[in-house]
Structure 1
């Protein structure tokens, strides 16, 4: 199973349009980018591939990264930076199955699957397939689960992808605070590769109107505001889950420049070949 990080940034990406902060300048100087979030997972046994979230940067990502167009897609939640790239399916795919959770969100009165179906009803090449959280379904020869996480006010899901033949496992937290339900933590546990939302360092919580949450024993916030994990929260979760390797994603340009490109913060284009209990970096 080959995992390519197509987009490792938050809703504005890094560099952010119109921004000349030291972190955005540092990204330009290094020639690296963190576009809006998306992950490409290839099943090398079958030659099929799966796209996790449809970034608005879809076109740019597939023109700049050496990966195939996906045979199917997953949508974790309905925020535009994870969904609105689906419009790129127009004239690109003969058919694209899109899988999304079937639970009705009390905020929207729709499930994620319902919203995808409604917003993209003009795309006759897209078919929406409803999936029940925690149930395993097979797509592209891989076993997939949506697992509920915590990203108020909307319902949001992490993703677990396992190769049923090799046992290789990739866990993706999705957009979430540290307050991930125990059943979901159990599903995410023991991955060969963990992709964890870590929007900012914990020090940034002092600048958020709601501060931080889910403090550790030293008083360090593991959640920034209410919706996303801090770097420290994501690393604590990785330790708890027993991740073999962790890459931090959904990163904002608010990381101080001297910290913004340090390990284990990811940048676009990283690629990993996964085997049981090991994640080997390709590029």
Structure 2
């Protein structure tokens, strides 16, 4: 299983447009980028490719990193930075199954699958495949399971991807607070690689109107506000799940350069063989 991180940033990316903060300048100097979130998973046994979330930066990501075009897609939730790249199927991709959860969101009155179907009803290439959380399904020769996480006010899902032949496992936290339900944690547990949402270090919770939550024994917040993990929260989740390796994704430009480009923090183009 070859995992390419196409987009490792939050909703504005790093460098952020029009921003000259130290971290954005450091990214420019280093020649690295964190575009909007997307992960490419290639099943090298079958030659098929799966895309987890379709970033609005789809075109630039595929031109820059040159992975194979996807044969199937999974969408974790309906925020634009994870969804709007599906429009790139027009004139570019053939029949494209798009897997998404079938649970109706009380906030929107429709499921993620329903939202994808409605927003992209003009694209004949897309074939939406509603999937029930906790029920494994096959895509690109891999076994996938969507699990609910905590990203209020909308429903959002983490994802476990396993190769049934080799046993390799990739887990994605999805956009979430540290408050991931135990049943979901059980599905995500014991991955070879965990991609964990880590938007800012815990020290920045003081600048959020709601502060932080899910504090550890020393009072360090593992959630920033209500819907994203802190760096400390993401690393704690990796320990909880017994992850062999963890990379921090959905990272914003608010940390210092030293924090933003720390040991575990991913950047676009990182590749992992599982």
Per the normalisation by structure 2, the TM-score is 0.99
What per-residue deviation string (whole Å, max 9, x for no partner) do you get for residues 243-279 of structure 1? 00000000000011222111100000000100xxxxx
**CA–CA distance in 1 between the matches of 2:155 and 2:271?**
29
The offset of 1:155, in angstroms, is 0.3
**CA–CA distance in 2 between the matches of 1:153 and 1:53?**
19
Runs of 4+, deviation exceeding 4 Å: none
- 1:51 corresponds to which residue? 51
- 2:107 corresponds to which residue? 107
Q: 3-state DSSP class of the match of 1:25?
A: helix
- Structural mapping, 1:223-238, within 5 Å: 223-238=223-238
The offset of 1:94, in angstroms, is 1.3
**CA–CA distance in 2 between the matches of 1:223 and 1:263?**
20
- 1:191 corresponds to which residue? 191
- 2:87 corresponds to which residue? 87
- 1:279 corresponds to which residue? none
In structure 1, stretches of 5+ residues that fail to align are 275-283
- 2:179 corresponds to which residue? 179
- 1:214 corresponds to which residue? 214
- 1:170 corresponds to which residue? 170
- Structural mapping, 1:102-181, within 5 Å: 102-181=102-181
- Structural mapping, 1:261-272, within 5 Å: 261-272=261-272
**CA–CA distance in 1 between the matches of 2:105 and 2:170?**
26
- 1:277 corresponds to which residue? none
- 2:34 corresponds to which residue? 34
The offset of 1:66, in angstroms, is 2.6
What per-residue deviation string (whole Å, max 9, x for no partner) do you get for residues 124-180 of structure 1? 011100000010001100000001000000000001000000000000000000000
Q: 3-state DSSP class of the match of 1:259?
A: helix
Give the stretch that moved more between structures: 69-78 or 257-266.
257-266
- 2:260 corresponds to which residue? 260
**CA–CA distance in 1 between the matches of 2:82 and 2:270?**
19
**CA–CA distance in 2 between the matches of 1:9 and 1:43?**
24
Per the normalisation by structure 1, the TM-score is 0.96
**CA–CA distance in 1 between the matches of 2:260 and 2:72?**
32
Q: 3-state DSSP class of the match of 2:177?
A: coil
Q: 3-state DSSP class of the match of 2:50?
A: strand
**CA–CA distance in 1 between the matches of 2:212 and 2:205?**
5
Question: Number of residues paired by the alignment?
Answer: 274
**CA–CA distance in 2 between the matches of 1:13 and 1:128?**
28
**CA–CA distance in 1 between the matches of 2:43 and 2:88?**
23
